[in-house]
Amino acid sequence: MDIEQVEMKSLGFCGTCKESFKLLLTWKKIFFQIILALILPLSLIFLTYEQASNFLFTRIMGDTINLDHISKGTRSYDVISRRISSEWLSYWVIKIFYFTFVLVFSLLSTAAVTYTVASIYARRDIAFRIVMSVVPKVWKRLVITFICTYLAFFLYNTAFVIFLVIWMSLLVQTSAGLPSLIIVSIVYLLGFAYLNVVWQLTSVVSVLENYKGFKAMRKSKELIKGKFWLGFFVLVFPGLVMVGIEVGFLILVINLNVVGVLVVRVLLGFLFVVLNLIAILYALVIEAVLYFVCKSYHNEVVDRPSLTTHLSREYNNDFSGTGSPKDVQMSDVNNV
């Protein structure tokens, strides 16, 4: 690895962020190719979706307001009513297309970046064509894992909604109403943050180990023991940066209505696209680095020969070195 396992084991927030940034700078060529092939389409749809969605929703609200002032049964009422129905259809088609597109390219990008980081740590020869040949092979595992994590989030949020319904029915007017809501809300937010960290690491586990679905979530849960707060902060950091980029894009590019600033808006739009590309890539790299930090923390040796062998046999690539594919998953440093 770029740093020894003992050093990686003790990496904190700053160390993990620094290690991720160093990988981006050192291997900028392969990461740039991944950006162009996978992350650029993801970033463009991510930034343009809000504009299209807001435009349609504004038109729908405007037509709905106009409809309230027109008598039913008139020709104008029928025309606007049909237009609203068409606009709602377009709105939901765009929404479905957006989420499908984001899901596909998010999973593909995760697979590509995770495999690249693992190959770098294994000191294997890495090329863009090899990375892209690996992506389809891990696609099925990632989709199953996503469905299972989505189900876990759905059940978790459903339980909270059920509590809110019970609280409003039985406790809202009692002396225990407010304290119970505050306590349960805090527990909910902590649990939601925990599930998010598990989910982020689960994707990496599904790429690098022979786990998928709930088994991958269980493995991720084991890995973050003792490293939850590190995982929380290093994963929230790029997320906050992306939120800031999206807000800046909406304010300075989409909602900037000053006359004669088209060139400025174009330049700002280009800047925000580039920043968003870097932020997404950095978030994916830091997920993979966090995985290796957690593996080292739990004394699960990730030595170069076994990691090389595992990657090669798992994805049918040429390799050199010996070892069992299982060596990369569960090896105690004290037994080596």
pTM for the structure as a whole = 0.76
At residue 302, the pLDDT reads: 58
Domain boundaries, the chain: 5-317
Amino acid of residue 83: R
Comparing 173-182, 236-245, 272-281, the range with the smallest average pLDDT is: 173-182
Task: State yes or no: pLDDT of 319 exceeds 50.
Answer: no
Instruction: Label residue 124 left, alpha or beta by phi (over 0 means left) and psi (-120 to 50 means alpha).
Output: beta
In this prediction, residue 5 carries a pLDDT of 60
Banded pLDDT at 96 (limits 50, 70, 90)? confident
pLDDT of residue 316: 56
| pLDDT tens per residue across span 289-304 | 998 888 888 877 555 5
What does the buried/exposed string (b/e) look like for 232-262 if buried means 16 or more CB atoms within 10 Å of the residue's CB?
bebbebbeebbeebbeebbebbbeeeeeeee
What mean pLDDT comes out for the span 225-253?
84
Instruction: Pick 49 or 73 by higher pLDDT.
Output: 49
Which runs of E-coded beta strand occur in the chain? Answer: none
Q: How many CB atoms lie within 10 A of CB 166?
A: 12
The closest of 301, 309, 311, 294 to 333, measured between CA atoms, is: 301
Q: What's the Cα-to-Cα distance from 194 to each of 27, 142, 153, 211, 221, rounded to whole Å? A: 31, 20, 11, 20, 9
**Residue 183, CA distances (Å) to 87, 268, 316 in order:** 42, 43, 51
Q: For position 158, what pLDDT does the model report?
A: 92
